[in-house]
Structure 1
Amino acid sequence: MIDSDLLDRVFVGEERLSSDEIHRRVVALDPPADVLIAFDQLPEGEYSVDEIAEFVGTDEPA
Structure 2
Amino acid sequence: MRRRAVARALCAFQGRRDTLYRIRGANGPLEIGPSSSGCIRMRDMDAIDLYGRVRVGAPAVVIG
Q: TM-score, normalised by structure 2?
A: 0.27
Choose between structure 1 and 2: higher helix proportion.
1
Choose between structure 1 and 2: higher strand proportion.
2
Q: TM-score, normalised by structure 1?
A: 0.28
Structure having greater relative contact order (Cα 8 Å, sep ≥ 6): 1
